Amino acid sequence: MVESNFTTKAAYLSHFNPQTYLEKYYTFGPNPSAENQILMHILRKLFKTFSSGRVKGDLLIDIGTGPTIYQLLSACESFKEIVVSDYTDQNLEELKRWLKKDLKAFDWSPVVKYVCELEGDGEKWAEKEESLRQKVKHILKCDVTQNQPLGPVSLPQADCLLTALCLDAACKDLPTYQQALKNLSSLLKPGGFLVFIDALKSSYYMIGDQRFFSLSLTQEAVKDAVVKAGYTIQEFEVISQSYSKTRANNEGLFYLVGQKLNNSVGLQS
């Protein structure tokens, strides 16, 4: 693999355009696109995970939140506090716009309505938006390649760690990916849950005409990395739908729920 393809952190700061990303991947059109199908599938999975009552607690930390909130909509009913995080400052700014109800914020209401329908009451979407806004307590800079991904902040260990579509983008090779999962594990309580979503076998993704690196991994490599980081895998599902050919070259995505082993400290390198 040619490592120069990797999209550096500096390139994320200069080239990741949150508005274009949201428009290309998170806008519901009249005919559901591949991107819409994937989004709805992930939302249904998250609904099932968080409505089961098994994954709940005081604190959920979302890693590599990007400019998006869809991944928090079902989770927010099960946690008292949510922390969101990303490397890219303009994504944190975009999140703040939505949290502050800025007029220029992205309109998530079609997505929120979809989740409220899954939860049984499509009329409650405005209430859900409010409740999510209330629960997001910190918006933090994060770098998954660091031993302390959130820096020297004093946060309690989380009951749940959520990360969607971040590690494939952030890690240049498999050893870095394996280490990133271990780095993240330090943020999670023993016995806590990891909800992990990403593309399979994708070597790039597009935002408009900008190309971004993606680490191409098989499902076996993903599961192996999660187990090596000290988790048991409770659920692993392949979502067979791929992104539009013009957006990425993935072969489906995976949806994983893991639980951090009580003695996993000994497994960390």
Interacting residues toward ligand SAH by CB under 6 A = 9, 12, 16, 64-66, 68, 71, 86-88, 91, 142-145, 164-166, 169-170
Closer residue to ligand SAH, CB minimum distance, 124 or 133: 133
Closer residue to ligand SAH, CB minimum distance, 118 or 199: 199
CB of 9 to ligand SAH, least distance (A): 6
CB of 196 to ligand SAH, least distance (A): 11
CB of 263 to ligand SAH, least distance (A): 27
Q: How far apart are CA 59 and CA 116, in angstroms?
A: 22
Closer residue to ligand SAH, CB minimum distance, 64 or 258: 64
Closest CA to 139 of 26, 61, 200: 61
Computed over its alpha carbons, how large is the radius of gyration of the chain? Answer: 17
Q: Phi and psi for 230 in degrees, rounded to 5?
A: 100, 30
Q: How far apart are CA 104 and CA 120, in angstroms?
A: 30
CA 179 to chain centre: 18
CB of 53 to ligand SAH, least distance (A): 24
Closer residue to ligand SAH, CB minimum distance, 116 or 207: 207
Distance of CA 79 to CAs 53, 61, 63, 68, 74, Å? Answer: 11, 10, 16, 18, 10
Please report, to the nearest 10 degrees, the dihedral formed by the alpha carbons of residues 223, 41, 253, 243 taken in order. Answer: -170
Closer residue to ligand SAH, CB minimum distance, 144 or 188: 144
Closer residue to ligand SAH, CB minimum distance, 71 or 250: 71
Q: How far apart are CA 185 and CA 121, in angstroms?
A: 35
CB of 62 to ligand SAH, least distance (A): 7
CB of 151 to ligand SAH, least distance (A): 11
Closer residue to ligand SAH, CB minimum distance, 146 or 232: 146
Q: Which residue is nearest to ligand SAH (CB)?
A: 66
Distance of CA 269 to CAs 26, 143, 186, Å? Answer: 37, 18, 12
CB of 51 to ligand SAH, least distance (A): 20
Decide if 119 contacts 74 (C-beta within 8 A): yes
Place of tokens 């988790």: 231
